[in-house]
């Protein structure tokens, strides 16, 4: 229902490009997870992309999980380069922004999951606490930038995405 509403309100067909970018990004994760011997339990759409849950009957080491995590943003960046070369500038921009956003160290994004793996390897006792506060700080910064973008230019996506990240952070 949400996707139908977004498609209805989307005059520039950005939602379709975004959904394609999400699918390619998640496929990058999936290929690496399977190549490293892991499994995927579920994939679901969220407000700012998709979420993939690993099959814990086939767990990955922290290093392998880090490789699987970084695969999504790398695939998104490679897709950006290809789309730009082909002159598909809207799709290129969607992939570039998606790969950059996913690298931020916020818990529900790839960068936050990557940070958590690093923290578990370096300081397992405090990993979740440090990850939480880094996520909160970056989510707050994004919320502030989203607010400025909305007030100055009437651009609301960053405000909505940061709001979703803060809500997800508080739920965890």
List, for residues 58-101, the tens digit of each pLDDT value: 889 999 999 999 999 999 999 999 999 999 999 999 999 989 99
CA-CA distance, 122 to 89, in Å (whole number)? 41
Number of H helices, E strands in the chain: 7, 2
Q: What angle is formed at CA 59 by the lines to CA 35 and CA 171, rounded to 5 degrees?
A: 115
Residues 51 and 125 in one domain: no
Would you state the pLDDT for residue 150?
Answer: 87
Would you state the pLDDT for residue 68?
Answer: 97
Residues 49 and 63 in one domain: yes
Residues 11 and 52 in one domain: yes
Residues 36 and 49 in one domain: yes
Other Cβ atoms less than 10 A from the Cβ of 69: the count is: 25
Which residue is it, tokens 């699918």?
23
Would you state the pLDDT for residue 48?
Answer: 63
CA-CA distance, 164 to 144, in Å (whole number)? 14
Residues 97 and 136 in one domain: no
Residues 45 and 63 in one domain: yes
Q: Which 3-state string (H, E, C) describes 90-142?
A: HHHHHHHHHHHHHCCCCCCCHHHHHHHHHHHHHCCCCHHHHHHHHHHHHHHHH
Is residue 37 over pLDDT 90?
A: yes
- pTM (two decimals): 0.85
Residues 43 and 77 in one domain: yes
Domain holding 111, by residue range, is 106-172
Q: What angle is formed at CA 112 by the lines to CA 126 and CA 53, rounded to 5 degrees?
A: 100
Residues 64 and 122 in one domain: no
Give the rounded percent of residues in the chain with a pLDDT score beyond 90.
60
Residues 92 and 111 in one domain: no
Residues 11 and 43 in one domain: yes
Of residues 41 and 16, which shows the higher confidence score? Answer: 41
Confidence of residue 12 (pLDDT cuts 50, 70, 90): low
Instruction: Indicate the average pLDDT of the chain.
Output: 88
Tally of domains in the chain: 2
Would you state the pLDDT for residue 165?
Answer: 87
Q: Which of 7-11, 55-59, 153-157 has the highest mean pLDDT?
A: 55-59
Residues 75 and 134 in one domain: no
Residues 99 and 110 in one domain: no
CA-CA distance, 124 to 5, in Å (whole number)? 43
Would you state the pLDDT for residue 172?
Answer: 74
């Amino acid at each position: 229902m949400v996707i139908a509403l977004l498609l209805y309100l989307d005059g520039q067909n950005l939602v379709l490009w975004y959904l394609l970018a999400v699918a390619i990004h998640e496929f990058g994760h999936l290929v690496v997870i399977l190549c490293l011997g892991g499994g995927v339990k579920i994939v679901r759409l969220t407000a700012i992309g998709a979420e993939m849950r690993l099959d814990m009957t086939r767990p990955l080491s922290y290093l392998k999980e880090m490789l699987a995590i970084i695969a999504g943003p790398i695939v998104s960046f490679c897709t950006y380069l290809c789309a730009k070369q082909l002159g598909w500038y809207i799709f290129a921009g969607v992939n570039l922004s998606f790969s950059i956003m996913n690298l931020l160290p916020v818990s529900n994004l790839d960068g936050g999951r990557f940070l958590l793996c690093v923290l578990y390897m370096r300081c397992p006792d405090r990993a979740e606490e440090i990850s939480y506060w880094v996520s909160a700080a970056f989510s707050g910064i994004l919320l502030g930038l989203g607010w400025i973008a909305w007030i100055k230019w009437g651009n609301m996506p960053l405000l909505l995405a940061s709001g979703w990240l803060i809500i997800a952070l508080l739920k965890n």
